[in-house]
Amino acid sequence: MRSLLFLRHGRTDWNDSKRVQGHRDIDLNARGRAELAACQLPPQWNDASWYCSPLQRAMHSARLLGGVRVRCDPLLTEMDWGQWEGRTLASLREEFGDRMRENEARGLNFRPTGGESPLDVRQRLQQWLSALPKTHEADGCQRTVVVTHKGMLRAALSLATGWSMVEAFTPRVDWSCGHEFALDDEAGFNLIGINVALVERTS
């Protein structure tokens, strides 16, 4: 069995202004860098292997958290929001009205214009997970840290629990924390625990 700790990247200017980032390669802002530089993972993850999305905000987050020999994989990239990147959900809801509400009510099948659905993202995650055991013997690690995006974390929660994304996930997810999953040949991909707090850096 392999344990995986999924983490969302640190804060960006677009996060602060509630703009949808998607594939747009927005880097961390000063506050995001400072927050991550002050943190480290719980000690049981010290010898983990590291993977991340190739977008700057994820790569830089992994390095600030102490990641070494971090492997980037495009399958871990954020959901593609197509023509809606750079917009806020509030402005989209105002512009599209009932059509937006109907689209959001589709859960996993929600789709922005010209972009991916959450189901598409979940399928990308499944593809990445299916290849992970092949690297397991090579890296010799039982633990893996994955620095990625909110859309990919939502996909992981859906895949592990059957969450349809129609209703809010319970219990409440703290996106500044890590979320632990287990990958097993027989049991598959399962949620072990959410909201694993980072710890204050001591050195």
Tell me what the mean pLDDT of segment 194-203 comes to: 90
When the pLDDT of each residue in the chain is averaged and rounded to a whole number, the result is: 94
Peptide bond into 118 cis (omega under 30): no
Contacts of 150 (CB under 8 A, 6+ apart): 8, 78, 175
Contact 6, 179 (CB under 8 A): yes
Structure tokens at 134: 């092949």
Give the position of tokens 């890296």.
139
Reported as a single tens digit per residue, the pLDDT across 66-97 is 998 999 999 999 999 999 999 999 999 999 99
Tell me what the mean pLDDT of segment 97-104 comes to: 98
Q: Please count the structural domains in the chain.
A: 1
The pLDDT score that the predictor gives to residue 155 is 98
Reported as a single tens digit per residue, the pLDDT across 112-163 is 999 999 999 999 999 999 998 665 555 556 899 999 999 999 999 999 999 9
Tell me what the mean pLDDT of segment 35-40 comes to: 96
Task: Show the DSSP H helices in the chain as ranges.
Answer: 13-16, 30-37, 56-64, 89-96, 98-104, 118-139, 150-161
Instruction: Indicate yes or no: pTM above 0.85.
Output: yes
Q: How confident is the model at residue 186 (pLDDT cuts 50, 70, 90)?
A: confident
The pLDDT score that the predictor gives to residue 97 is 98
Q: Give exposure, 112-147, as e/b (b: 16+ Cβ within 10 Å).
A: beebbbbbbbbebbeebbeebeeeeeeeeeebbbbb
The pLDDT score that the predictor gives to residue 140 is 58
Q: Which domain holds residue 140?
A: 2-200
pLDDT at 24 over 80: yes
The pLDDT score that the predictor gives to residue 132 is 87
Tell me what the mean pLDDT of segment 34-54 comes to: 95
The pLDDT score that the predictor gives to residue 133 is 66
Percent of the chain surpassing pLDDT 90: 89
The pLDDT score that the predictor gives to residue 92 is 98
End-to-end, the C-alpha distance of the chain in Å comes to 31
The pLDDT score that the predictor gives to residue 187 is 85
For position 158, which CATH number holds? 3.40.50.1240
